[in-house]
Amino acid sequence: MEYDLLHIVPALLGCSCAALHNGGASEYNLLKENFKNIDWNFKKEAIKYCLNDSKVLFNILESFNKLIFDRFALNINKYPTTPSLAFAIFRSKYLAPEQISILIGKTKNILEEVPICSFLV
């Protein structure tokens, strides 16, 4: 089945989305009516959607970077994963410079009982 992606809003093909069951179908029908006599280009709309997603992601990362820098004086670009950033925050706030973290006492005993963690102690 071929669709004219330049002139119509695509049909809902076998969509069983929860949103449609909660009033989303009427929203879709309203959208479809608004575009009834207007050319609608799927490729253009998809590109616009991706660009907006990219802008939102950039704004989130920019805000997160500012938050982490303001609170902990760390640059998130130096840490490729969230766990590495979390460990850097821990080290910068709770460990003295040049201190090596050593597990002792109850924490050490608990970790020794877990087979996968035994190499840590």
pLDDT digits (tens, 9 = 90+) for 64-108: 999 999 999 999 999 999 989 998 998 888 777 766 667 778 877
pLDDT in tens, 11-69: 665 565 655 566 667 777 787 787 777 777 778 888 999 999 999 999 999 999 999 99
- Are 68 and 76 a contacting pair, CB within 8 Å? yes
The answer on 110 and 58 residing in a single domain is yes
35-to-23, 26, 40, 64 alpha-carbon distances in Å: 19, 14, 7, 38
The answer on 53 and 33 residing in a single domain is no
Report the Cα 72 to chain-centroid distance in Å.
22
The answer on 73 and 27 residing in a single domain is no
- Are 68 and 46 a contacting pair, CB within 8 Å? no
**At 53, is the secondary structure helix, strand, or coil?**
helix
Q: What is the pTM of this model?
A: 0.55
- Are 82 and 44 a contacting pair, CB within 8 Å? no
The answer on 82 and 35 residing in a single domain is no
Q: Name residue, tokens 């991706």.
A: 50
Higher-pLDDT residue of 91 and 118 is 91
- Residue 63: the pLDDT is 96
The answer on 88 and 56 residing in a single domain is yes
- Residue 1: the pLDDT is 44
